[in-house]
Structure 1
């Protein structure tokens, strides 16, 4: 059972634990809309049956083996156009903690967590709700493969599959929530340049020439940055700069 956390300021003071659910993001959204959850609330599920990933993908997780949870935040101190900074802060926080177990862990744009040579161990899906131009709340869904060692997807990996060590999920959850809170506080303090610099420093393929495809055509390019809106900035071999949004470019 995941309990209310004593070592945080606001995150994890309200924990909703579910033995099974379709999606922690959907559950958290429903709790917010019905007034049962506010900023800092956490929904965590032992077995998520229809977890959501980027690009409409399904995040599959074995019961009791991994961490699947969602945070409720209210980042109304940010402009809607700046929302990718929340993405970067969350991705940085997860990587900071897990790099103790996986030193070569990187973030693959926009927010997948991968270990090159092994595969994807997790991801983040942030669903925002706005009222006009005002930010109401953000539900931050996080799925991490921790102790699962068998996967249907060929590109999936886990902490245990890579390190051979069994991880205490409740202790890791406590440490991770603490790290995420620190990252969010850093964002609130306006340390955005540091957040972006750290994100780019551990961004998969940043400043490295590699192959990609877009609109059915293959090309060689290197990642040179991300925009405030979270689009991927790339340089072509002829020196031209191009920008891609979600679903617009495929890593080869």
Structure 2
């Protein structure tokens, strides 16, 4: 269990809401380098993020005030670089739990996307600062589709939003969503130990998207069929291909 206690009042006081920013992760990094000390669970929320970051160098583009885009700061206690994926798990578990209050079939797609009914609703990007082979601080960027009714042509079959997945079609207040999710994140962060890899990976794998299902993947320039088995303690995806167990890093495999 973490040592800090983050009350709702503490989280509200440490939430900075901006009308527009290029990237909440970049804004928080600049803030961290210029203001010391910066409290844990300082959060930057943007009503409009113009150059949000994603995995594989992609961008996360959203309509103004339709998505929840924010970044928060954590100082993990005694977290080795080799256990960096454990923090990713805690964040994903918290988001999955928060979304499950509103809708069913919420799953974690390796390494850190959240899917509902086979469509992406959330992406996470964690940027760590390293010192003495340990993670000194972490900036966690989160983007969740909240009120979108429509997506671009190339995304409308692959993306969804909280509004589209709930029976109540009333748009959500973005800032209220942010504070509510921050409370869930704080609770989850305090509940689980970052060093308890066995528990964390078991919970993560139980929620793993397309686990145990035959699916198509893109590997080394070729399309192959395999079955996701789990994510191992190194954070690699374990897939059986032609009956053989193989593990992959992020850049080595892609879902089709």
TM-score (norm 2): 0.89
Structure-2 separation of matches of 1:193 and 1:100:
26
How far off is 1:64 after superposition? 1.2
How far off is 1:171 after superposition? 2.5
Structure-2 separation of matches of 1:210 and 1:150:
27
Partner of 1:24: 24
* Local SS of the residue matching 2:15: strand
Asked if structure 2 preserves the Cα contact closer than 8 Å seen for 1:24 and 1:141, the reply is yes
The alignment of Structure 1 onto Structure 2 pairs a total of residues equal to 245
Distance 1:245 1:10, change over 3 A: farther
Partner of 1:3: none
* Local SS of the residue matching 2:140: strand
1:180 to 177, 185, 197: 185
Partner of 2:48: 47
Structure-1 separation of matches of 2:80 and 2:11:
22
How far off is 1:9 after superposition? 8.0
Partner of 2:162: 159
Which blocks of at least 5 consecutive residues in structure 2 are unaligned? 1-5
Partner of 1:220: 225
> Could you report, residue by residue, the CA deviation over 1:141-163 in whole angstroms, capped at 9, with x for unpaired residues?
00000011122233221011222
Partner of 2:3: none
How far off is 1:14 after superposition? 1.6
Distance 1:217 1:185, change over 3 A: same
| Greater relative contact order (CA < 8 Å, ≥ 6 in sequence) | 2
Distance 1:143 1:189, change over 3 A: closer
How far off is 1:35 after superposition? 2.0
> Could you report, residue by residue, the CA deviation over 1:60-90 in whole angstroms, capped at 9, with x for unpaired residues?
1111122100010011321110010110110
Partner of 1:131: 131
Structure-2 separation of matches of 1:237 and 1:130:
39
Single out whichever of 150-159 and 83-92 deviates more from structure 2: 150-159
Distance 1:8 1:209, change over 3 A: same
Asked if structure 2 preserves the Cα contact closer than 8 Å seen for 1:159 and 1:165, the reply is no
How far off is 1:13 after superposition? 4.0
Does 2:84 align with 1:80? Answer: no
Which blocks of at least 5 consecutive residues in structure 1 are unaligned? 1-5
> Could you report, residue by residue, the CA deviation over 1:150-205 in whole angstroms, capped at 9, with x for unpaired residues?
22233221011222342232322222111101111123375443322221111101
* Local SS of the residue matching 1:125: strand
How far off is 1:100 after superposition? 1.7
Partner of 1:106: 107
Asked if structure 2 preserves the Cα contact closer than 8 Å seen for 1:13 and 1:40, the reply is no
Structure-1 separation of matches of 2:195 and 2:8:
20
* Local SS of the residue matching 2:137: strand
Structure-2 separation of matches of 1:29 and 1:116:
34
What RMSD in Å do the two structures reach over aligned CA positions? Answer: 1.9
